[in-house]
Structure 1
Amino acid sequence: MTIKFNPIAQLKYILLMFLAGLISCEDDVREVYLYKKGTIEATASNTAIKSGETITYTDSSTKIRAIKWTFQGGAPGASIEPNVEVKYTKGGTFTTTLEITHVDNTIQKKTFTIEVEAPATPPIVIPADALKIYSDNPDFTKTAPVLNWVSSNQFVIKEVADDGYEGAFRNFTLPAAAPATEAKWAMAILQFVNFTDISSYTYINMAVRTTSTGKIRFRMKDASNTGYVEFDATSNLYGLKRDGAWNMVKIPIADYKKQNVALDLTKIKDILVLRSVDPEDVRALNNYTFDIDHIYLSKQ
């Protein structure tokens, strides 16, 4: 069967279909938003500080998937936290880098240049009547008989080329792993090759740097007798501090004799013996690290 429209009915049908199409298109209209990428934003509380000071870094980036900070020359050396306080203990020019991975896996980086002023160099004090024991100062011309550093038990002795009180220095530290740390005590010796008369001197002086909290004895020995002075972590006796900075320590030689009257100062063999203190166990404390430099005898 064939249906025929008259011209007027046909026109009405076409208009009806057109209006229906318009209504249908309105229902399909959608709002379109352009995608906004994440941004990298961060600040540093300071970029020029003195050694020992801290800088606070703050990340305020957007659309973050992961954060990674890298702090050259600082402690900590890295972090994944948005807010970090970093301490700088040595002078120099350092770079801090923030790497942001955004939610769309794109990566952006931001860097900071940090200037750290080095600590002031301590004054080199050399009495005219001093007897050199260990020094890198070329003006320190009076030299004792030949000496040797000897690791008697556990201490690993290293000479470090720079960052000393006056240049190179000796570092005494314990090995980190067994079997080297099986013994509970540690000792190292600065020893004259020949017996030496030090009876005309009043003080033994040395620069010491440490953060160790362990007790330590500085001993002196003739052929058979030993005298010593003992340091704990809190007393700052004779100027020995545990603050991680170089400190000059000045010990009356009479105090070695006071501890042992039999000590013969005219025939000293071991001028400086570093010895841990029983019953402390260096394996438990694990922080017996001492830097030694600028050792000399003086009369005042």
Structure 2
Amino acid sequence: MTIKLNHIAKLKYFLLVLFASLFSCEDDVREVYLYKKGELKAESTNTSVKAGETITYTDSSTKVRAVKWTFQGGSPGSSIEPNVEVKYAKGGTFTTTLEITFVDNTTQKKTFTVEVEAPATPPIVIPADALKIYSENPDFTKTAPVLNWVSSNQFVIKEVAADGYEGAFRNFSLPAAPPAAEAKWAMAILSFVNFTDISSYTHINMAVRTTSTGKIRFRMKDASNTGYVEFDATSNLYGLKRDGSWNMVKIPIADYKKQNPSLDLTKIKDILVLRSVDPEDVRALNNYIFDIDHIYLSK
């Protein structure tokens, strides 16, 4: 009789433990989620614009740790912001690249192609009795004596074969960053080999392309005297705009004489001197870049 009761007691105990275990497990149930990777999502408002117009790029990717945009041919040239408005100043086919770093440190890229229509170039009209100084145009009847391009301080001068106002052009640029650019000022010179009489002309004309925000002086020099015209970044004086497009600049030669009455126009040696303006420090601005083409004197 005792043995039977022990078996019944053990059975009851087993059932009690099983019952308790079942109910206690119910509270420990957890939902399990599989990890979902981030997704790159980005768009642009346009893929084809005219020079001077803008495109807005928007990143809406998920699980992002870092964003890096690179805008070929655009301004700004790069950004780490998710939404960026980019301006294209000149024509061409350009690439925009978005690189996303996700929270798991994996990366992914997306590329956009942008077609920018170049601004219309006005026809090049040569005034009668003009003096060609630097131009590929064959319509001039007079050509200045031999010229030399001289980097007097820091400006690196190079001739670029294409994309000029009329073909090839001269590019004046500073070294990219200090310590390469060691001095705070920069200058470059276009000089006649022989002294030249320009007193019968009233204007010096040239095509200029730049986005520089620095002040710049265009100077002339005889044997010992210098006269200049000064340009800031906002006035658009005589047509010199800082919009990244080619613009014809027409400067009255009388303004050089007005700045320095001693300037002898019958004996000009340096017809064009680019000079930064003190006390402005070219190393701080780091954007002294000027393209120059189609230089001539007119009456």
Q: What TM-score range do you get, normalising by the shorter chain?
A: 0.7 to 0.9
Q: Please tell me whether residue 69 in structure 1 is matched to residue 55 in structure 2.
A: no
Partner residue, 1:134: 134
Secondary structure in structure 2 of the residue aligned to 1:255: helix
* Alignment correspondent of 2:50: 50
Letter in 1 for 2:115: E
Measured in 2, the distance between the counterparts of 1:111 and 1:17 equals 67
Residues in 2 aligned to 1:100 and 1:279: alpha-carbon distance in whole angstroms = 42
* 1:166 Cα offset (Å): 1.9
Aligned-pair CA distance for 1:288: 4.0
Cα deviations by residue, 1:3-24 (Å, 9 ceiling, x for unpaired): 2479xx87x9769856864663
Residue aligning to 1:147: 147
Give me the identity figure in percent. 70
Q: Is the 8 A contact 1:50 1:91 kept in 2?
A: yes
Aligned position for 2:220:
219
Task: Kindly provide the amino acid, as one letter, of the partner of residue 69 in structure 2.
Answer: T
SS of 1:28's partner is helix
Q: For residues 102 and 82 of structure 1, what CA distance do their matches in structure 2 show?
A: 14
Once residues 218 and 105 of structure 2 are traced to their aligned partners in structure 1, the CA distance between those partners, rounded to angstroms, is 58
**Aligned residues of 2:89 and 2:243 also touching (Cα < 8 A):** no
Contact 1:70 1:98 in 2 (8 A): yes
Question: 2:254 matched to which residue of 1?
Answer: 254
Q: TM-score, normalised by structure 1?
A: 0.76
Q: Which has the larger radius of gyration?
A: 1
Seen in structure 2, the aligned counterparts of structure 1 residues 82 and 283 have a Cα distance that, compared at 3 Å, is: closer
- Could you tell me the TM-score, scaled by structure 2's length? 0.76
Cα distance 1:128–1:153, how it changes in 2: closer, same or farther (>3 A)? Answer: same
Number of residue pairs the alignment of both structures matches: 292
CA distance 1:83–1:31, change in 2 (3 Å): same
Could you report, residue by residue, the CA deviation over 1:33-75 in whole angstroms, capped at 9, with x for unpaired residues?
Answer: 452624333332333333333333333333x152333324134
Identify if the C-alpha distance between structure 1 residues 5 and 93 changes in structure 2 by more than 3 Å, giving closer, same or farther: farther
Question: In the alignment, which residue of structure 2 is the partner of 1:181?
Answer: 182
Aligned partner of 1:172 in structure 2 is: 172
User: Per the alignment, in what secondary structure is the counterpart of residue 245 of structure 1?
Assistant: coil
The alpha-carbon deviation at position 193 of structure 1 amounts to 1.8
Does the aligned pair in 2 maintain the 1:198–1:266 contact within 8 Å? yes
| Residues 32, 76 of structure 1: alpha-carbon distance in 2 compared, 3 angstrom cutoff | same
Paired AA for residue 226 in structure 1: N
Structure 1 residues 57-106: Cα deviation after superposition (integer angstroms, max 9, x where no partner): 333333x1523333241344444433333333343333434444444555
How do 1:1-300 and structure 2 match up within 5 A?
3-4=3-4, 17=14, 21=18, 24-25=21-22, 27-29=24-26, 30=29, 32-35=31-34, 37-38=36-37, 39-62=39-62, 64-73=63-72, 74-104=74-104, 107-140=107-140, 142-175=142-175, 176-177=177-178, 181-182=182-183, 185-210=185-210, 211-221=212-222, 224-233=223-232, 234-277=234-277, 282=282, 287-299=287-299
Q: Are the aligned partners of 2:90 and 2:244 in contact in 1 as well (CA < 8 Å)?
A: no
Alpha-carbon RMSD across the aligned residues, in angstroms, is 3.7
Verify the 8 A CA contact 1:225 1:262 in the aligned structure 2.
Answer: no
Query: 1:148/1:52 Cα in 2 relative to 1: closer, same or farther (>3 Å)?
Result: same
Alpha-carbon separation, structure 1, partners of 2:144 and 2:49: 42
Distance change (3 Å), C-alpha of 1:99 and 1:203:
closer
Measured in 1, the distance between the counterparts of 2:94 and 2:237 equals 36
Q: Which piece of structure 1 moves more, 265-274 or 103-112?
A: 103-112
